Amino acid sequence: MRILALDTATQACSIALLTPDMAIRRELLTERGHAAHVLPMIDAVLAEAGIRLAQVSALAFGRGPGAFTGVRLAASVAQGLAFAAQLPVVPVSDLAAIAQRAFDQDGQLDHVLVCHDARMQELYWACFDRGANGLATLVGAEQVSGVGAIELPESWRGRIGGAGQGFRAYPTLKVRLEGALSSIQEELLPRALEIARLAWPAALAGLTVGAQDALPVYVRDNVTRASRN
């Protein structure tokens, strides 16, 4: 199994190739210009591994939520590569990728609340459990709202963490959840490596989509409607 993953939903432009024996990564922090970097980074990762795109088992991409242009770029690149090499695709939540980073960095966490800045005085947010396989598992649905609407599941017990740059963008969120969170990792962004890890079991189980169905997810309804006009 070889999974090639990419993510451009935030200022982190990242590529990863995950196999049973290795993980090869390229990462670049940049506010803009992802389109100019993503394909050369993919070529560099494949070259380092000594394989061609056609030898990849599946593609995975960060399907959002995130910056509209960045999410659309990731989906477009995944579609193009999948069509070219006839590869299956696994769309992966960018919020889940942040949660996975948080779980990996703090092995004591049982649950993670991920909050990412959605601008317009709102946050993209979702709650995740640490699954039996160590992978982030969504609880409920991904949402977009103001700080005041963010709630932790009543069933959560154990050690709860916060993750994502929404905590940095909206300091009142920390105040509101003071006492409920044992730690906050406010620097975390989604990365292709965690997207590949989350895609792995889906790819093994054949839970993939074709290139035409490798679609972005925006969460915010008015942005989705606007993209169709």
Domain CATH for 12: 3.30.420.40
CA distance 165 to 168: 5
pLDDT one-digit tens code per residue, 80-122? 999 999 999 999 999 999 999 999 999 999 999 999 999 999 9
Residues 165 and 204 in one domain: no
pLDDT one-digit tens code per residue, 143-179? 999 999 999 999 999 999 999 999 999 999 999 998 9
Residues 15 and 82 in one domain: yes
Residues 98 and 181 in one domain: yes
Q: What are residue 71's phi and psi, to 5 degrees?
A: -65, -45
Mean pLDDT, the chain, rounded, equals 94
Please compute the mean of the pLDDT values over residues 201-226 and round it to a whole number. Answer: 83
Domain that holds residue 172: 94-185
Residues 83 and 101 in one domain: no
Residues 124 and 67 in one domain: no
First to last CA, the chain: 39
Calculate Rg over the CA atoms of the chain.
17
Residues 80 and 146 in one domain: no
Residues 125 and 150 sit within 8 Å (Cβ to Cβ): yes
Global confidence as pTM: 0.94
Total domain count for the chain?
A: 2
Please compute the mean of the pLDDT values over residues 71-75 and round it to a whole number. Answer: 97
CA distance 229 to 227: 6
Q: Which residue has the higher pLDDT, 221 or 152?
A: 152
Residues 124 and 157 in one domain: yes
Percent of the residues in the chain that have a pLDDT greater than 90, as a whole number? 93
Q: What is the pLDDT of residue 221?
A: 63
Name beta bridge partners: 115: 125
Q: What is the pLDDT of residue 178?
A: 87
Residues 139 and 194 in one domain: no
Lowest-confidence region among 28-32, 135-139, 179-183: 28-32
Residues 79 and 141 in one domain: no
Q: What is the pLDDT of residue 224?
A: 38
Examine the pLDDT at 222 and tell me if it is beyond 80: no
Residues 70 and 129 in one domain: no
